[in-house]
Amino acid sequence: EIVLTQSPGTLSLSPGERATLSCRASQSVSSSYLAWYQQKPGQAPRLLIYGASSRATGIPDRFSGSGSGTDFSLTISRLEPEDFAVYHCLQYGSSPRTFGQGTKVEIK
């Protein structure tokens, strides 16, 4: 099973700043089958990015994903108030599909 490690655990930033989140895999993720989700308290996760860099429907272009192999990142170019949340990465290149432990982006 592929283990995903997200860093940092918590990111403290101000609105308007740039956020860069990391997701590192214990082995190569097949065909860059890596996704990112946003989750707010009491809500279900929302798909942001799939295929490492493709934005899901309706996702603002301030969200971007990159990476391949074992190292992936999610960048939020300018944080809006609604972007403060927990972000999860998911690999779906091999079974079982596995998630990282999450990165919390909090208001500084």
- Beta-strand pair 4-7/10-13: unpaired
- Closest C-alpha among 88, 100, 96 to residue 48: 88
Q: How far is the CB of 92 from other proteins (least distance, A)?
A: 5
Report the residue from 22, 24, 33, 71 that binds other proteins according to the rule CB under 8 A.
Answer: 33
Chain Cα centroid distance, residue 54 = 12
Nearer to other proteins, 24 or 102 (CB): 102
Nearer to other proteins, 17 or 106 (CB): 106
> Residues near 82 by Cβ (< 8 Å), separated by ≥ 6?
none
Q: How far is the CB of 16 from other proteins (least distance, A)?
A: 28
Site track 65-104 with other proteins (rule: CB under 8 A), x = hit: -----------------------x-x-xxxxxxxxxxx--
Q: What is the dihedral of CA 47, 25, 94, 73, to 10 degrees?
A: 30
Residues in contact with other proteins by the rule CB under 8 A:
33, 35, 37, 43-47, 50, 56, 88, 90, 92-102
